[in-house]
């Protein structure tokens, strides 16, 4: 059946749209009291993410409560290392922690390429339940972390401002680094293809830690693996969001992806000039949503004037912050809809 609202898909494909589609990264999350209620019932983040019925419920909430033009499956980028044999814990106030890490070829050999139909069946089941719940109202976005970003967590074992342990491997043992990156890439391709088979209408690759690399390192240790993923995913549009990689916009524009996500440090007009052949997505600073309603409306208007209303998907420049007032989020979404018509 055809989607009732296919604005996002048409924008991703570069087709004309009546208005600009809008959604937000981390839209299914702590900004909503309804999400917090389900999270409390689940008992933990990981229990919520691995229970398909609950994951589907919180995926649908932003569509029902905020009026976004797409759902994005509730999950985590770190399900891939877990599926490869490296489990993680989610610690309150600290974030993800890996009890074991990968540093040698011997460690690497203990891991396997993820088999989505078994290792990640709970995500695929959540996608199927979400598609049924959406009733063709809006598209469903699937996602995965970029191989380098996943590599950071698998070697560092936790979040970091510098990921110096991960970067040390790139310099000290590039052969090991490439072997691990390739295994992550193979797992990610299989995972995204399984998400698409389960019902995802488009997919996004999150390279959250792209900005910690030099341009040369990014060309060596990140781009080639994202390129493999883009070349492998031919069924649906692919979005590449490389936070902080302003220096790689030209190279990203040459990938076989449909959409390039921008963070708030990337100038819209400059990005249009560098990336003339793709749909752009972004890039309002999430902190704008702490300001007044009038200022939010003014910032949205300015953003839309800079990007234009075609070949464009309105979003934030990163995920919405968990203490953001839901009414300010609604103001952002409604402002996009009203001004872009």
- Pick the catalytic residue: 35, 88, 153, 312? 153
Catalytic residue among 10, 13, 19, 30: 30
Annotated ligand binding at 178? The verdict is no
Q: Is 76 annotated as a binding-site member?
A: yes
- The rounded distance, in Å, linking the Cα atoms of 38 and 145 is 25
| C-alpha–C-alpha distance, residues 31 and 311, integer Å | 28
> Can 201 be counted among the known catalytic residues?
no
Check whether 30 is labelled as a binding-site residue.
yes
> Residue 76 catalytic?
yes
Q: CA torsion angle for 137, 133, 75, 314 (degrees, to 10)?
A: 10
Could you say which of 26, 191, 201, 225 is catalytic? Answer: 26
The reply, when asked if residue 28 is annotated as ligand binding, is: yes
From the candidates 6, 39, 119, 191, which is the catalytic residue?
A: 39
- Distance of alpha carbon 12 from alpha carbon 41, whole angstroms: 36
Q: What is the DSSP string of 278-334?
A: SEEEEEE-GGGGGS-HHHHHHHHHHHHHHH-SSSEEEEESSPPPTT--HHHHHHHHH
Nearest to 180 by CA among 242, 243, 107, 245: 107
Catalytic residue from among 6, 69, 76, 201: 76
Q: Does the annotation count 39 as an active-site position?
A: yes
Strand partners, 238: 203
318 is in an annotated binding site: yes
Binding site residues for substrate, as ranges?
26-30, 76, 153, 208, 318
Kindly list the catalytic residues. 26, 30, 39, 76, 153
Query: Annotated binding site: which residue ranges?
Result: 26-30, 76, 153, 208, 318
């Amino acid at each position: 059946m055809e989607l009732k609202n296919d604005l996002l898909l048409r924008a991703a494909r570069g087709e004309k749209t009546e208005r600009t589609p809008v959604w937000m990264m981390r839209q299914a999350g702590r900004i909503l009291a309804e999400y917090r209620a389900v999270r409390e019932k689940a008992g933990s983040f990981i229990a919520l993410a691995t229970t398909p019925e609950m994951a589907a419920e919180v995926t649908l909430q932003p569509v029902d409560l905020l009026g976004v033009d797409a759902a994005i499956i509730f999950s985590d980028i770190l399900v891939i290392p877990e599926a490869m044999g490296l489990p993680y814990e989610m610690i309150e106030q600290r974030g993800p922690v890996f009890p074991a890490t990968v540093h040698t070829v011997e460690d690497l050999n203990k891991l396997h390429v993820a088999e989505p139909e078994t290792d990640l069946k709970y995500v695929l089941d959540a996608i199927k339940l979400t598609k049924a719940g959406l009733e063709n109202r809006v598209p469903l976005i699937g996602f995965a972390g970029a191989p380098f970003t996943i590599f950071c967590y698998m070697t560092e074992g936790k979040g970091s401002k510098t990921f110096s342990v991960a970067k040390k491997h790139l310099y000290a043992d590039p052969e090991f680094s490439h072997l691990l990156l390739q295994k992550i890439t193979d797992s990610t391709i299989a995972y995204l293809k399984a998400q698409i088979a389960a019902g995802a209408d488009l997919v996004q690759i999150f390279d959250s830690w792209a900005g910690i690399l030099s341009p040369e390192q990014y060309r060596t240790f990140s781009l080639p693996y994202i390129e493999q993923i883009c070349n492998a995913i031919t069924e649906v549009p692919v979005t590449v969001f490389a936070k902080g990689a302003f220096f790689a916009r030209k190279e990203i524009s040459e990938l076989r992806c449909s959409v390039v996500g921008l963070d708030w440090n990337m100038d819209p007009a400059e990005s249009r000039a560098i990336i003339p052949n793709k749909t752009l997505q972004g890039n309002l600073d999430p902190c704008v949503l702490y300001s007044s309603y009038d200022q939010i409306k003014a910032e949205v208007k300015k953003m839309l004037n800079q990007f234009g209303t075609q070949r464009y998907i309105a979003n934030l420049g990163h995920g919405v912050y968990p203490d953001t007032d839901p009414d300010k989020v609604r103001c952002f979404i409604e402002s996009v809809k009203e001004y872009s018509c």
